[in-house]
A and B are shown apart, each in its own frame.
Chain A
Amino acid sequence: MSNATNSGRALPRAGFALPWALVTPALGWTLLFFVLPFLAMGLSSLTAHDGGGFTLANYSQFFTDPSYWRAMVNSLEVTAIVTVISVLLAYPFAWILAEQVPERWQRLALMLAVLPFWTSYVVRSYSWLLVLAQNGVVNRALTSLGLVAEPLQLANTRLATVTGFVHFFVMLLTLTIFANLKQLSPSYRKAAADLGAGPIRTFLHVVLPLTLPGIMVGAFLTFVLCIGDYITPQILGGNNELLMPQLVMMQIGRRGDFPLASALSIILMAVVTVAYLACARWLKIERA
């Protein structure tokens, strides 16, 4: 970081105007279309739906009505399950791609692993519905193999929502963890081996700690994207329970109740902020 300062000082011809001219458009955009909307939403959340004045009713609705805060509990549960499962599935996979697959095939292997990213997001959830349906391919396979007598209820459950989410985030996490593993210099491992550490100890004491920041970044991304997603639970969950984004969209879709939707969004955002603070030390963006 100190180099940035040095090079800044080393620019005698750079006046005051140029640096600000460079950063102002981005800052202005963020202020106008991110900070200001957020303030507007905050203000809106404190007004009554029928055009009345100041009220805390939108927030008290959330905290007093069990069916409302139940949505937050559901969201947190689903997000936590998804994050843990995705990391546990993706880490070994990324490790195999980085360590076991021959160098020249690695790019192809990685490309294949994230290829389904490029199906439309909405369509991806929908195809899981087809896969998990009563007479979808999974149930057909299970019954014809004689593993189950009756088709299982897979679609329209929390399990389906989690499956849809995990599918997406395994791909995402494989990418971030793979990048992380590749950045590890082989010399670390060699050094560990030279010091007499076996492969397992090398992994536990060298590789895992060094890739932890990458895991945390991926896990945080998973958390943010998962807890704010409307499509996956709406298509796959069968409305057997509501998650926060569904509750927010319901207020807009059914009644045009922006104040209540705003209040719920802000509560959701507060939860994400807490998660951010918990991971903050891994999330710094540094220059190479």
Chain B
Amino acid sequence: MRALVRIASWLYALAVYGFIFLPVIVLVLFSLQATSFPIPPFTGPSLRWYGAVLSDTRLTSALVNSLLVAVLSSLAAVTLGFLSAWGFARFTLPGSALLRGLITLPLTVSYLIIGMGLLVLFNWAGVPKSLLAAGIGHVVINLPLCFAIIYSQMGDHQINIERAARDLGAPEWKVLLLITVPVMAPAIFAGFFLSMTFSWDEFVISFLLTRFDTTLPVEIWNLLRSGLNPKTNAIGSLVFAVSIVLVVLFELTLLRRKPA
């Protein structure tokens, strides 16, 4: 019985892994296609399309834009999220539950709607479309996430450490910088990292709110609309490779520091 469960488990897990990896394998394989169609039969391997991607300034500058927006908007989101989480966890505020609900509200709304709302507002207010406008939208979607992660991790344990520091006469800003931030570092880092991931991959808000300079997903969309092309595979594979490196680095730095 136990062995049967084990075998069935393995088969099931393999099938799901297969499903999960199928599009990735096809993506990477046909990025090495020598001819102009990323469909069978495979004619490669060739690095022709990687060359095409790297010499396409629209794509490379979009990549830089995406990184910039992701880092800056995540920094803003995690800062605002951390401060408010600390405020709500440590102090009694009137209407606290309601206000916390307000901050997390954007989590329950589709990106499309957030993007539409900002588009209409910015239109009325005469704010031009730009990367900054898209960045504002990314903070809107990531702030509640950072808040929720950090707030949920602020336990009594941390409170006690902080209290001890205060009892020893540390001023509030010192408590914050020297005690709270280091103690909360994993949650802060997780919030930042998740925000980066979401911002990096976000399409519809950037699509609606940017003009000339845009983010990579929007530029890939433009590329996609202009025809079937292994170049799309190549840029997709590159993004994948870069992301994997980042994830591995993240895992190594975060895990190595954890006591066993």
A is bound by B: yes
- Hey, which bits of chain A sit against chain B, CB under 8 A? 3-5, 7-11, 13-14, 18-23, 25-27, 29-31, 33-38, 40-41, 44, 89, 92-93, 96-97, 100-101, 107, 109, 111-113, 115-124, 126-128, 130-131, 133, 135-137, 140, 167, 170-171, 224-225, 227-231, 235, 245, 248-249, 252, 258, 261-262, 265-266, 268-269, 272-273, 276, 283, 285-288
**Complex CA–CA separation, A134 to B109 (angstroms):** 36
Asked if A130 and B140 make an inter-chain contact with CB atoms under 8 angstroms apart, the answer reads no
**Complex CA–CA separation, A140 to B39 (angstroms):** 11
- Hey, which bits of chain B sit against chain A, CB under 8 A? 5-6, 9-10, 12-13, 16-17, 19-24, 26-27, 30, 38-40, 80-81, 83-84, 86-93, 99-100, 102-114, 116-121, 123-124, 136-137, 139-140, 143-144, 147-148, 151-156, 159, 163, 166, 172, 197, 201, 203-204, 208, 216-217, 220-221, 224, 232-233, 235-236, 239-240, 243-244, 247, 251, 255
Query: Inside 8 A of A9's CB, which chain B residues have their CB?
Result: 92
Query: Inside 8 A of A14's CB, which chain B residues have their CB?
Result: 90-91, 172
Query: Inside 8 A of B80's CB, which chain A residues have their CB?
Result: 25-26, 29
Query: Inside 8 A of B136's CB, which chain A residues have their CB?
Result: 33
Asked if B224 and A118 make an inter-chain contact with CB atoms under 8 angstroms apart, the answer reads no
**Complex CA–CA separation, A119 to B235 (angstroms):** 10
Asked if B26 and A131 make an inter-chain contact with CB atoms under 8 angstroms apart, the answer reads yes
**What are 19 inter-chain pairs, A to B, with CB distance below 8 A?**
A23-B87, A26-B84, A29-B140, A30-B105, A34-B105, A35-B102, A40-B117, A41-B121, A93-B12, A93-B16, A115-B247, A126-B232, A127-B26, A130-B30, A131-B22, A224-B109, A258-B123, A262-B120, A287-B154
**Complex CA–CA separation, A232 to B120 (angstroms):** 24
Least distance between A48 CB and chain B CB atoms (Å): 15
Asked if A11 and B91 make an inter-chain contact with CB atoms under 8 angstroms apart, the answer reads yes
Least distance between B235 CB and chain A CB atoms (Å): 7
3 A-B pairs closest in CB distance: A228-B110, A37-B117, A22-B87
Set B21, B88, B166, B220: member contacting A23, Cβ < 8 A: B88
**Complex CA–CA separation, A131 to B30 (angstroms):** 11
Query: Inside 8 A of B153's CB, which chain A residues have their CB?
Result: 287-288
Set B19, B91, B156: member contacting A170, Cβ < 8 A: B19
Least distance between A270 CB and chain B CB atoms (Å): 10
Asked if B117 and A121 make an inter-chain contact with CB atoms under 8 angstroms apart, the answer reads no
**Complex CA–CA separation, A228 to B100 (angstroms):** 24
| Beyond known contacts A4-B88, A126-B224: 17 more, CB 8 A cutoff | A11-B91, A14-B172, A19-B91, A22-B86, A89-B16, A112-B17, A113-B20, A118-B197, A118-B240, A118-B247, A119-B23, A123-B27, A127-B27, A170-B19, A228-B111, A248-B116, A261-B116
Indicate whether A286 sits within 8 Å of B221 (C-beta atoms), given known contacts A38-B117, A273-B108: no
Where chain B touches its partner, the secondary structure class is helix
Asked if B216 and A140 make an inter-chain contact with CB atoms under 8 angstroms apart, the answer reads no
**Complex CA–CA separation, A245 to B23 (angstroms):** 24
**Complex CA–CA separation, A268 to B116 (angstroms):** 12
Least distance between B51 CB and chain A CB atoms (Å): 18
Asked if B83 and A4 make an inter-chain contact with CB atoms under 8 angstroms apart, the answer reads no
Least distance between A145 CB and chain B CB atoms (Å): 15
Least distance between A272 CB and chain B CB atoms (Å): 6
**Complex CA–CA separation, A31 to B204 (angstroms):** 21
Query: Inside 8 A of A137's CB, which chain B residues have their CB?
Result: 22, 26, 40
